[in-house]
Structure 1
Amino acid sequence: MESHGAGLRRVLLLAFCVAGIWSAYIYQGVLQETVSTKRFGPDKKRFEHLAFLNLAQNVVCLIWSFIMIKLWSNGNSGGAPWWSYWSAGITNTIGPAMGIEALKYISYPAQVLAKSSKMIPVMLMGALVYGIRYTLPEYVCTLLVAGGVSVFALSKTSSKTISKLAHPNAPLGYGLCFLNLTFDGFTNATQDSITARYPKTSAWNIMLGMNLWGTIYNMVFMFGWPQASGFEAVQFCKQNPEAAWDIFLFCLCGAVGQNFIFLTISRFGSLTNTTITTTRKFVSIVVSSLLSGNPLSTKQWGSVVMVFTGLSYQIYLKWRKLQRLQKKRKPM
C-alpha cells in the first residue's frame, strides 16, 4: 500500500509539473505575441522596444531567485561565484533578444518552430568542429526538423498574419532565430562548465548569476547606449498601462515557469523536462493559431507535424539510450 501511495504522489507531482510548465509558458507565449503585435492606446501605437522584455524578465527573475535562495538555501555555500557567469550572461542577453526581435518579422508560430530546431546547429557544430559521429536515426531526426522548418518558411503565410507584423521580413526573422539558437548553445556549454567546476551550485545560484549579468548588460544596452531606447520603452509603459501589465505578467510567467522546470529536472530528470517543454511548444502553436488569429495552411500544419515528429523521435532515442545505460549499471 505504501509503495502504491508513493507512486500516486509521484504521478500527481508529475501532473503538477506538466500543468505548471504548460500554463506558465503557453500564457507567456500569448503575452509575448500580444506585446509584439498589438496596437496600444488611442494612437494605436506598437511597442517597438521588444528588447525591453529581456531586461524586465532579468530584473523579475533576479529578484525571484534572490528570494528563493534566502528562503531555501539554508546557508549552503560552495556554489559558483557570481562573477563566473559574466561570459554566459553576454550570450544569454544577446540570444533571447534576437529571438524576441524576430517577432517583428515573422509570426509567433514560425518563431516557435524555428527555435525548436536547436539540434541542427548543435549537430552541425559537433560534426564540423569536434568531429562527432552521429547515428543514422539522429540524422533522420535532424532532417525531419530541418525539412519541416524549411517547408513552413517557404509556405505562403496568410495576409491576416502578415498584417499583424511590424516589419514582415521572413529571411531576417529566421536568421535572428538561428543566431538565437547559436548563442543559446554557447550559453548552455558555459553553464555546464560552471556546474562541473562548482558541483555545489544550485539551480537558484545559476538563475541569480545569469540574471544579474543579464540585468547589467541590458541596462547598459537599453539606457547607456547612444539610442537609449529604454527611456522610450518606460515612457510607452507609463502612457499605456495595459502594455506595462502585459510585460509584468510576461516576466512573472517566466519566473514561475523556471521554478517548475527546476522542480521537474530535480525530481524526474532532464529527459522528462525536454518531453514536457517540447509538447508545450506544439500546444503553443495550436493556441496561437486558434486564439491569436494566426491561421496556418494545410502545408504549414504538415510542416509542424514533421518538426514535432522529429523532436519526438529524438526524445525516444534519448530515452532508449538512458534505458541501456541503466541496465549496464545494474549489478549482475
Structure 2
Amino acid sequence: MVTNRKGRGGGGPPRPRVVDGSGSGGGGSMASRVAVLAFCVAGIWSAYITQGVLQETLSTKRFGPEARRFEHLAFLNFAQNVVCFVWSFIMIKLWSSGGSSTGHAPLRKYWGVSITNTIGPTMGIEALKYISYPAQVLAKSSKMIPVMLMGTLLYGVKYTFPEYICTFLVAGGVSSFALLKTSSKTIKKLANPNAPLGYTLCFLNLAFDGYTNSTQDLIKSKYPKTNPWDIMLGMNLWGTIYNAVIMFVAPLLFSNWPYANGFEALKFCQENPEVAWDITLFCLCGAVGQNFIFLTISRFGSLTNTTITTTRKFMSIVVSSVISGNPLSLQQWGSVVMVFSGLSLQILLKWKKKKGRDHKG
C-alpha cells in the first residue's frame, strides 16, 4: 500500500496538511474534520467491500448456459494493473504543477519490485480457488506473524509482551479457523477445495507483499519528491507489461501454457458480458479505493488508515457470510473475533506509542 505524504511542490496531487492522527492539529473545525473522516471511511468501506463481493462472485459463480466458472482469476490483476496505470496517469496530469521531475524516482526503478507485486497478488487471488473468501481475508490479515518471526529470528528484534499477545491471538484465530470444518455449502462453491494449498498461497502473498512494501519505502526515501501517484504509475506500468507477457505472449509461444491465458479470459468475457462488467467494476473499485486511502493518510495519518482498513476487513467477512451465502459456525465466528481482537490490540498499542511520542515532543 502506498503511504507517501507528498506536498504540492513535488508535482503530485495537492496534499492537505498532514495531521498526526491523534485528533489534534490543523485541518479545519472539528465538525469538518469529522465529516471528512466519515467520507473517507464510507469511501474505503464501500470501494473495498464491493470489490471483495465482486472478487468472490468471479471466483465462485458459474456463468452462461453451460454453467462454466471463470478460471482465469489472475486476469483480474492484469485488468487492475491497466486501470490503475491509466487512473494514476490521469491524476498526475490533472494535479501536476508543471514543475521539474528532478527528485522523482524514474520508471526503471520499479521494474524489480513490480515482479513481486505481480506474483504476490496473483497468489492471493488464486487462493480463492482453494479456500473461501472469509478464510482468505483472515489469512491475509495475519502479516504481523511473518514480520515478527523474521524480526526475531533474523534481526534479533525484541518485542513487548502485549505485541506477542497480539500475534498469538491472530495466529490462534487463523489456525483455529483453518482447522474447523467448513460448511458443505461453502465447499461446493470452490473450484478445487484444498485448504493447505490455499493458505500457503495466502502466506506467500504476504511474504511478497512485505518485500514489495519495504522496497517501495526505500524508493521513497531515496527519491523524496516521489508521490503516491508516481509509485502507482510505475508499479502498474511494469505490472501491466509482466502480466501481458505471461497471459498473452507466453500462450503464443507455448501451446500447453499452464498458466492463465489472456485470450481465453477475453473470449469468456465476450461470451459472458456479465463477467466483463464485474471485472470493470472490480478494477474501478480498486482505483477509487486508492484515492480514499491517499486522502485518509494525507488528512489523518497512516494509523487512522490502518484502523479503517482493519475494520473494513471484518465487515467484508460479515458481508460475505450474509450476502454471498458463506455461513460460518459459532466456532468460526469465535476465530474471526480472535483475529480481529489481536489486530485491534495492535492498533491500540500503536496509538498509545504515538501519544507517548507526541507528549515527549
Give the TM interval when normalised to the shorter protein: over 0.9
SS in 2 for 1:129: helix
- Aligned ranges 1:175-186 → 2 under 5 Å: 175-186=200-211
Larger mean CA deviation between 279-288 and 84-93 belongs to 84-93
- Aligned ranges 1:72-83 → 2 under 5 Å: 72-76=95-99, 77=101, 78-83=103-108
Aligned counterparts of 2:330 and 2:348: Cα–Cα separation in 1: 27
Residue number in structure 2 paired with 1:293: 325
Aligned counterparts of 1:302 and 1:4: Cα–Cα separation in 2: 40
Which whole-Å deviations, capped at 9, do the CAs of 1:102-132 have from their partners, x for residues lacking one? 0000000000000000100111111112211
Aligned counterparts of 1:185 and 1:300: Cα–Cα separation in 2: 27
1:194 aligns with 2:226: no
Aligned counterparts of 1:211 and 1:31: Cα–Cα separation in 2: 21
Residue number in structure 1 paired with 2:51: 28
1:317–1:96 CA distance, 2 compared to 1 (3 A): same
CA RMSD, 1 decimal: 1.1
TM-score (norm 2): 0.89
Q: Which has the higher helix share?
A: 1
- Aligned ranges 1:161-240 → 2 under 5 Å: 161-225=186-250, 226=254, 227=257, 229-240=261-272
Aligned counterparts of 2:27 and 2:152: Cα–Cα separation in 1: 46
Do the aligned residues in 1 keep the contact of 2:27 with 2:299 (CA within 8 Å)?
no
Aligned counterparts of 1:212 and 1:70: Cα–Cα separation in 2: 16
1:74–1:142 CA distance, 2 compared to 1 (3 A): same
Do the aligned residues in 1 keep the contact of 2:130 with 2:194 (CA within 8 Å)?
yes
- Aligned ranges 1:133-172 → 2 under 5 Å: 133-172=158-197
Tell me the CA shift for residue 5 of structure 1: 6.4
Tell me the CA shift for residue 7 of structure 1: 1.4
| Unaligned runs of at least 5 residues, structure 1 | none
1:4–1:237 CA distance, 2 compared to 1 (3 A): closer
Residue number in structure 2 paired with 1:105: 130
1:251–1:327 CA distance, 2 compared to 1 (3 A): same
Aligned counterparts of 1:87 and 1:240: Cα–Cα separation in 2: 36
Which whole-Å deviations, capped at 9, do the CAs of 1:46-81 have from their partners, x for residues lacking one? 000000000000000000000000001212422111
1:38 aligns with 2:70: no
1:52 aligns with 2:37: no
TM-score (norm 1): 0.97
Do the aligned residues in 1 keep the contact of 2:177 with 2:336 (CA within 8 Å)?
yes
1:312 aligns with 2:335: no
1:206–1:4 CA distance, 2 compared to 1 (3 A): closer
Aligned counterparts of 1:279 and 1:147: Cα–Cα separation in 2: 19
Residue number in structure 1 paired with 2:278: 246
SS in 1 for 2:29: helix
Tell me the CA shift for residue 223 of structure 1: 1.1
Tell me the CA shift for residue 4 of structure 1: 11
1:292–1:267 CA distance, 2 compared to 1 (3 A): same
Aligned counterparts of 2:326 and 2:149: Cα–Cα separation in 1: 32
Q: Number of matched residues?
A: 327
SS in 1 for 2:109: helix
Q: 1:257 aligns with which of 289, 306, 326?
A: 289
Which whole-Å deviations, capped at 9, do the CAs of 1:244-285 have from their partners, x for residues lacking one? 100000000000001100111111100000000000000000
Tell me the CA shift for residue 160 of structure 1: 0.2
Aligned counterparts of 2:152 and 2:109: Cα–Cα separation in 1: 29
Q: Percent identity?
A: 76
Aligned counterparts of 1:75 and 1:300: Cα–Cα separation in 2: 54
SS in 1 for 2:193: coil
Q: 2:141 aligns with which of 105, 108, 116?
A: 116
Larger mean CA deviation between 188-197 and 217-226 belongs to 217-226
Aligned counterparts of 1:115 and 1:13: Cα–Cα separation in 2: 28
Aligned counterparts of 2:60 and 2:203: Cα–Cα separation in 1: 21
Amino acid in structure 2 at the alignment position of 1:37: T
Larger mean CA deviation between 78-87 and 235-244 belongs to 78-87
Amino acid in structure 1 at the alignment position of 2:107: W
SS in 2 for 1:157: coil
Amino acid in structure 2 at the alignment position of 1:259: N
Larger mean CA deviation between 74-83 and 3-12 belongs to 3-12
Do the aligned residues in 1 keep the contact of 2:174 with 2:339 (CA within 8 Å)?
yes
SS in 2 for 1:292: coil
